Amino acid sequence: MNLFEQEDEIQRTVVKVILELLDNKFFWDIANLNELFLSSDEDTLTMPFDKKYISDVDEEKLMERIEEIYKTSAYITKTHQHYLTTIEIGMDINRGEIHPDNAYRIITKPSYVIVESSDSDWNFVKGIVEKYKDFGSRKSIYQLIKKSLDIDYLLPDHAGGIGDIKKKIEHLKSRSYRDIHEYKLIAIFDSDRENAGDFNERTHRPLIEYLNKINEGTTLNENHMMYKKQDIIVWHMLYKRAIENYLPLNVIKNTIDNLKNQQIRDLDNLHYNPEQVDFVKYNDPPISISKKPLSEKFLTDFSPQELENRCSHHKVLIPLPDGTTELVSEIEQILLKIAKII
């Protein structure tokens, strides 16, 4: 159904959507551009809507932007198509099309990372985004996340604890993010595991059931512990106990001020057992370092390879654009999930 044959208000909204895309925060499907803006002889650009909906200045900007896209070869790469989220704007919701009103909200509202503590956990997100922006074969995706962060299009939302994440999601999805929550929200939270096979039934089961949209008391399996497209929003439960367990030990030793000799010896002893480091409680004796100073160290200058090494013993499989798979660190997995909401 042609959006530009709809009632005036729909057309006005569609034009607003198109003008928002001038900010270069999103990719346009060039096949769709051909359909909308190329004349029947496929030689000149034309307006698909009545000019009463657009100012002369905006029209000039729009045409310049369209010409720029046509001149850029491989504007949308297979990597972009694979790791980013695509929406189709239209009136047929049954075919998965996004109503123009919701499309406008998707592209204008910021995306949120729901964390237990924006005071500490957000440092982890900012740190990995910064460190991976020039890392590896998917750096073009990580650079887009960094751009979203820099322009305040990607923001933290403080839940207050594992038990409050569901409340936070419900609040957002029933109000300002109604009908668009799956495109704009991700929850990242601690596992609070004591060991690799642990699962905290009391604190985590209600949230996992909610995210998976399954009934209370359902027998949980590995599949329930991983985000799937049909889940309520994008989410990630950390493999390690908490965010501080992702810090390389040498970063802790070299950047935490006033560590006592015994604390340093205890950290050195952990070095020989990477899995023990995954689940150690740094804020408990004998080490006794509080969470916030640790989380701030993700913002210090160390290489992404050190984070890769910290996660080298529990890699995960991700699908690649060519249909194959690759073993990557959990850090990359988290970043690729964040990419789904930008």
Please write the tens of the pLDDT for every residue from 66-125: 888 877 655 688 999 999 999 999 998 889 899 999 999 999 999 999 999 999 999 999
User: Is the pLDDT confidence value at 328 over 70?
Assistant: yes
Which of the four pLDDT bands, split at 50, 70 and 90, describes residue 50? Answer: confident
Question: What is residue 163's predicted lDDT score, i.e. its pLDDT?
Answer: 94
User: Is the pLDDT confidence value at 1 over 50?
Assistant: no
Name the average pLDDT for the chain. Answer: 92
User: Is the pLDDT confidence value at 341 over 50?
Assistant: yes
Cβ neighbours of residue 279 closer than 8 Å, sequence gap 6 or more: 193, 194, 195, 196, 198, 240, 241, 245
Rounded distance between C-alpha atoms, residue 307 and residue 237, angstroms = 17
Question: What is residue 25's predicted lDDT score, i.e. its pLDDT?
Answer: 81
pLDDT digits (tens, 9 = 90+) for 131-150: 999 999 999 999 999 999 99
HSE of 23, CA atoms in CB hemisphere, 13 A: 11
Question: What is residue 73's predicted lDDT score, i.e. its pLDDT?
Answer: 56
pLDDT digits (tens, 9 = 90+) for 148-177: 999 999 999 999 999 999 999 999 999 999
pTM of the model: 0.94
Residue percentage of the chain with pLDDT more than 70: 99
pLDDT digits (tens, 9 = 90+) for 299-326: 999 999 999 999 999 999 999 999 999 9
Buried-state track 11-46, b at ≥16 Cβ within 10 A, e below 16: bbbbbbbbbebeeeeebbebeeeeebbbeeeeeeee
pLDDT digits (tens, 9 = 90+) for 209-265: 999 999 999 999 999 999 999 999 999 999 999 999 999 999 999 999 889 999 999
Question: What is residue 129's predicted lDDT score, i.e. its pLDDT?
Answer: 98
| Token pair recorded at residue 155 | 């923001």
User: Is the pLDDT confidence value at 63 over 90?
Assistant: no
Whole-angstrom Cα Rg for the chain: 23
Question: What is residue 45's predicted lDDT score, i.e. its pLDDT?
Answer: 81
User: Is the pLDDT confidence value at 8 over 50?
Assistant: yes
Question: What is residue 43's predicted lDDT score, i.e. its pLDDT?
Answer: 74
Rounded distance between C-alpha atoms, residue 266 and residue 280, angstroms = 11
